[in-house]
């Protein structure tokens, strides 16, 4: 359902948990890119090992937030990704 929604609507950024029921985040990210999504996709995961980081990058993730995370980390990653891709400047 989430993949269909992402394909039917325009999103500036997508946050994907790696461990989801039905489809894992890596497969979902690959499917999004295969369907033409070219925005940033940030992974949310408890497994941020060097080996896994390489898998996430290969799947097309543009960022990674390790769980548990602070709200400031989430906001920083999202703003940074939007700034790079869309030229959106954070407000003061």
pLDDT at 64: 93
> What whole-number distance in Å separates Cα of residue 91 and Cα of residue 14?
21
Per-residue pLDDT of the chain (92 residues), as tens digits, is 677 887 788 888 999 999 988 889 999 999 999 988 989 999 999 988 888 899 999 999 999 999 999 999 999 999 999 988 877 665 55
Other C-beta atoms closer than 10 Å to the C-beta of 59 total: 21
Whether omega for the bond prior to residue 68 falls within 30 degrees of 0, making it cis, is yes
pTM: 0.86
Domain ranges of the chain: 39-66
pLDDT at 5: 81
15 φ, ψ to 5°? -100, 130
pLDDT at 28: 94
> What whole-number distance in Å separates Cα of residue 44 and Cα of residue 26?
11
């Amino acid at each position: 359902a989430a993949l269909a929604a992402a394909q039917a609507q325009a999103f500036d950024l997508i946050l994907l948990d790696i461990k989801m029921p039905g489809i894992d985040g890596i497969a979902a990210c690959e499917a999004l890119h295969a369907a033409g999504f070219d925005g940033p996709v940030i992974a949310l995961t408890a497994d941020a090992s060097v080996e896994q980081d390489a898998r996430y990058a290969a799947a097309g993730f543009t960022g990674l937030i390790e769980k548990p995370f602070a709200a400031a980390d989430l906001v920083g990653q999202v703003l940074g990704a939007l700034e790079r891709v869309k030229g959106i400047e954070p407000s003061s």
